Structure 1
């Protein structure tokens, strides 16, 4: 169901609402409906408040998404307050749409059953380990988000209800069989044509142009003959990966001792629980357990927590960070030990300690080689930064050349050939390097060398120091340099005009029924028949399917151009109604109905916004 709904629309709001991973929608603020307002709200939708906290979470999530999508470009955009306010408004608009849809779902009395909630939770990849539901992971994640099991289930119920609403709106479009067949016949239509090509290249050689023609074209189109700004650059490259540092056994052992926590698995405990809504229920179950009752069977039958109940109360292995405070304070020390009735935020709990796994530390011998590699890398990076500073100082002290920097770095500078903005050498194809080259700060007067750059760091622990050896500003190429190019352009233009004039003459004759003699005089003839289908993207196919179908035993005539610029006369001999395999026909119908579904969904949102009472608060504009 959800896959079909995703395909139904590319609408940005719909994409966010239909996110199946409930974890993400909670983090972006969709699940924070439990947070109340204090008067400082973002918006009120038909009286229901969207709090500042909800907006801040949604804004933070959208900002992170934009940063991940745009990469380095985001930093530039983020410096513009208007751009950040636009992101904030987009986040608020999405929250308003979600609120409107939730309210509308309530008026329709849409509902999600407990079984649907359970299935949605069990199927979430975020709550699974090796493809199977992991109760400990589930509880740890929702606890970290500040949710109890009941609160999380209620948030999920709201999400699924909204999805049910959208499905009911977008899943109602359909096509009648007659409409489907007619559209399939049109889409799969085929046309049989013959072509006669007027070769423009053959006409080019016959054209003549004068020196005056060439000069006038040059003067009128100087901007087309610009020589781009060009550079030659000398550079020294530093790379941490090229530095090889030796490490001693004492250094490796010292690193292990200082980072032993990285190789330590803390003590883990395994509990089973039975959760009830009242203290009386819990006391009755505890009494039954003390009489020898089967914990797992009672958990499956009586526990109000659907997740752990499914596994006989078992919560899986828990580390200290993921163990609920109620279990930590229960004081269970021995395997099989039962707790008393524990009051918790979700009701009342009876817990049993099932197992304890002591803390485990990987021995030094098992991690020796990995640590050796880490220490080598750390020493190489440390040496790299020290070398970087020395090279920077040398380049700054001797600003007339890279000789001093070469001596300190222990490598010779590399000099590039001439290049422009559009063909930067691959070894310098880093944004910070390009910015240093092209911002003008390293260029001397009249194309002379300028000063050395500062150290320029790039990804991967690499750095450059460079200087512009030579520079040529953007300039118009001299006429002598572009005469041949202009001559070819003018001759080609004249040849195309001659070909089009001939085509128009022949087309008129063909339509008048006198084309055979004219075609013969032009030394042209139509080729063999060929069948074209509508899915062709070339200009000739597009022209053929725009032509009027031929009358009986009488072609339709047209003219177009091929991909080489030649002029092509077209004889359309026949039109054949197409057929389409059922699978392809179904895909076509799905595409049409999905497009209509998108229109229906957007119309619903538009109408809800139009009829709704939306009041914006101070938090809508806060930065």
Structure 2
């Protein structure tokens, strides 16, 4: 029988070997590997380098913070668009891949950075300086605030230095700007265009349009989307702000003195340096060579004034002797700043510093050491900072207490407001996006929470709504109304105006299209009293008499006589017909040359940097984990 054969086989050598193989695999691999499949959650692998989901999310948050610092509240609109957020996340991921690919190829090339090189680079980093030199305590505190560790920071610095070893020679070579490039672009920017403008005042056509009641009603029925009343919400709310709490801070002399003694570094008057410079502009032929000649003469003992009068392109040098006045760190560009504060002796000269403006030679004229002033000299400043600090502490306490009480008593803000000694206010009807309302009802943060489905349907207190670093709000929604179509009777006059505008615009477009066709055939266009011709108008870039978009359209017309494009200026349809192109004089071209040279250097560096990373990608084995990428995007979409 089959069972007998199985029983006999169980005592055979083959069975025992298989049995022990299975047992050993459980011992060494663990039961979990059989029951729980291993999931690869790393979004991307570049050779042996893996980019984790945490690394991706962290880099994304860094990017968002940087954008918020640069663009302010306006960035919130973009971050509320799921598609825009997804695109931004993928851009951050691609940048991580670029860096990882370059790091991998750098390592393959055998480039290694020694410990001393890393230490030297860290010691030269100005962010870790105190009293003009490297300070280890500042380094440790700064790295900790970055959410990093000294070892990890050193590791990142090592990788960065290795990549610079490959990239820097390429970037230096690629950033060379040739005179002919600057000249061609400057002539393009200095260009102006002579055009004929056929414009129509939309009001002139609209005044001739008479719409019947049936036509007005028909337009209303066909364009309901133009006459919708927005969704509105009403809520009770409470605001806590540092500014309001400043009134509750009590000040006395003893507290001010104690605060000053504990925070003297906040009132330290920084070191200042008086200096002068010889500047040879980048537009001067052989400007760097001439700067080196000037420096050689200074080192030979020639006076700064005589050398400056010979070489400096500063028209006021004879009068000012190149003086830049008394400066603190950060007053100059980074290169000049480093050069100035690296000089040790009064009267000494820097090396030649080359930047987009030209070649500079800095002379140190004097040093005023940093000092701590007497309390009496900065009393008003100390008082202001003391009140700010106390109000911030009070704000932190009250917002924390309010958060707890609003959560414990979710149906009303009254009890929490009473304990925090603040007033519960009523919002009135609020429409999403209405910026005409008083603060904070007009903020995106409050409106977003007020229209959140969970908040408006629960009739419970919201979580804390942060309004920057010094204010917050809590709301409790009491009423919500969906968007609805306005009654025709209530908007009949508005419908008539909108309908007449739409018809007038279409008629104006037809007239201008007919003129455009005639002009392109070198025919004299038929015009009437509605169309106004302004012939031979000269328009330059940045001309304040026209809308920016209109000027863009003027310069987008094909460079061919009688070419035309229909645009709009000041709300009126206008046909632009090109007659000729003019280039301004040398003075205007020179003005643009200075601007273009700097921009072109930056453009070339960015382009070369992009090409370096593209090359590293080509040499790397990049594997995208689409499932992991989708998982990270979906998780963060839900969180947002």
TM superposition score category, shorter chain reference: 0.5 to 0.7
Per the alignment, do residues 505 and 137 of structure 1 end up closer, same or farther by CA in structure 2, a change over 3 Å counting? Answer: closer
Q: Confirm or deny: 8 A CA contact 1:233 1:416 kept in the other structure.
A: yes
Per the alignment, do residues 103 and 57 of structure 1 end up closer, same or farther by CA in structure 2, a change over 3 Å counting? Answer: farther
Q: Confirm or deny: 8 A CA contact 1:244 1:380 kept in the other structure.
A: no
Q: Confirm or deny: 8 A CA contact 2:205 2:530 kept in the other structure.
A: no
The 1-side partners of 2:413 and 2:239 are apart by 12
Please list the CA deviations of residues 353-392 of structure 1 after superposition, one character each: whole Å capped at 9, or x if unmatched. xxxxxxxxxxxxxxxx999999998789768867877787
1:495-574 to 2 correspondences below 5 Å = 495-507=504-516, 515=524, 518-519=526-527, 522=529, 526-527=533-534, 529-534=536-541, 537-539=548-550, 542-543=553-554, 545-550=556-561, 556=562, 558=564, 560-570=566-576, 572-574=578-580
State the match for 2:318 in structure 1. Answer: none
Q: Confirm or deny: 8 A CA contact 1:453 1:465 kept in the other structure.
A: yes
Three-state SS of the structure 1 residue aligned to 2:534 is coil
The 2-side partners of 1:567 and 1:70 are apart by 37
Deviation at 1:443, TM superposition (A): 5.8
State the match for 2:285 in structure 1. Answer: none
Please list the CA deviations of residues 576-601 of structure 1 after superposition, one character each: whole Å capped at 9, or x if unmatched. 23456446335435544643444444
The 1-side partners of 2:442 and 2:523 are apart by 63
Check if 1:453 corresponds to 2:457. Answer: no
Q: Confirm or deny: 8 A CA contact 1:540 1:562 kept in the other structure.
A: no
The 1-side partners of 2:140 and 2:417 are apart by 59
State the match for 1:299 in structure 2. Answer: none
The 2-side partners of 1:62 and 1:615 are apart by 20
The 2-side partners of 1:374 and 1:497 are apart by 61
**What is the number of equivalent residue pairs in this alignment?**
443
Check if 1:605 corresponds to 2:610. Answer: no
Three-state SS of the structure 2 residue aligned to 1:595 is helix
Instruction: Please tell me the root mean square deviation across aligned C-alpha atoms, in Å.
Output: 6.0
State the match for 1:576 in structure 2. Answer: 582
The 2-side partners of 1:76 and 1:559 are apart by 33
Three-state SS of the structure 1 residue aligned to 2:233 is strand
Please list the CA deviations of residues 150-178 of structure 1 after superposition, one character each: whole Å capped at 9, or x if unmatched. x96x9867643531321222333456655
State the match for 1:195 in structure 2. Answer: 197
Match of 2:450 among 392, 415, 437: 437
Deviation at 1:212, TM superposition (A): 2.7
The 2-side partners of 1:562 and 1:75 are apart by 31
Q: Highest CA radius of gyration, 1 or 2?
A: 1
Unaligned runs of 5+ in 2: 1-41, 264-382, 633-640
Per the alignment, do residues 99 and 466 of structure 1 end up closer, same or farther by CA in structure 2, a change over 3 Å counting? Answer: closer
Check if 1:62 corresponds to 2:75. Answer: no
Check if 1:101 corresponds to 2:106. Answer: yes
Per the alignment, do residues 157 and 420 of structure 1 end up closer, same or farther by CA in structure 2, a change over 3 Å counting? Answer: closer
State the match for 1:213 in structure 2. Answer: 215
The 1-side partners of 2:523 and 2:560 are apart by 20
State the match for 1:479 in structure 2. Answer: 488
State the match for 1:325 in structure 2. Answer: none
Per the alignment, do residues 605 and 101 of structure 1 end up closer, same or farther by CA in structure 2, a change over 3 Å counting? Answer: farther
The 2-side partners of 1:376 and 1:385 are apart by 14
The 2-side partners of 1:420 and 1:233 are apart by 12
State the match for 1:363 in structure 2. Answer: none
| TM-score w.r.t. length of structure 2 | 0.51
The 2-side partners of 1:407 and 1:158 are apart by 56
Please list the CA deviations of residues 377-420 of structure 1 after superposition, one character each: whole Å capped at 9, or x if unmatched. 87897688678777877x66xx6x88878877777643232211
State the match for 1:306 in structure 2. Answer: none
Match of 1:420 among 422, 431, 436: 431
Deviation at 1:216, TM superposition (A): 2.5
Deviation at 1:133, TM superposition (A): 3.7
Deviation at 1:497, TM superposition (A): 3.0
State the match for 1:595 in structure 2. Answer: 603
State the match for 1:172 in structure 2. Answer: 173
The 2-side partners of 1:572 and 1:380 are apart by 63
The 2-side partners of 1:540 and 1:412 are apart by 52
State the match for 1:186 in structure 2. Answer: 188
Per the alignment, do residues 130 and 60 of structure 1 end up closer, same or farther by CA in structure 2, a change over 3 Å counting? Answer: farther
The 1-side partners of 2:521 and 2:57 are apart by 71
Q: Confirm or deny: 8 A CA contact 1:105 1:161 kept in the other structure.
A: no
The 1-side partners of 2:575 and 2:395 are apart by 70
Deviation at 1:473, TM superposition (A): 2.3
1:79-478 to 2 correspondences below 5 Å = 91=96, 94-104=99-109, 106=111, 120-134=121-135, 159-173=160-174, 177-178=179-180, 180-235=182-237, 241=245, 413-423=424-434, 425-428=438-441, 434=447, 437-440=450-453, 451=459, 453=461, 456=464, 458=466, 467-478=476-487
Three-state SS of the structure 2 residue aligned to 1:417 is coil
The 2-side partners of 1:112 and 1:190 are apart by 56
The 2-side partners of 1:155 and 1:441 are apart by 43
Three-state SS of the structure 2 residue aligned to 1:216 is helix
Deviation at 1:69, TM superposition (A): 4.8
The 2-side partners of 1:496 and 1:42 are apart by 51
| TM-score w.r.t. length of structure 1 | 0.53
Three-state SS of the structure 1 residue aligned to 2:566 is strand
Q: Confirm or deny: 8 A CA contact 2:99 2:613 kept in the other structure.
A: no
Per the alignment, do residues 466 and 191 of structure 1 end up closer, same or farther by CA in structure 2, a change over 3 Å counting? Answer: closer
Please list the CA deviations of residues 225-276 of structure 1 after superposition, one character each: whole Å capped at 9, or x if unmatched. 221111233345567938959999xxx9xxx9xxxxx99xxxxxxxxxxxxx
Deviation at 1:488, TM superposition (A): 1.6
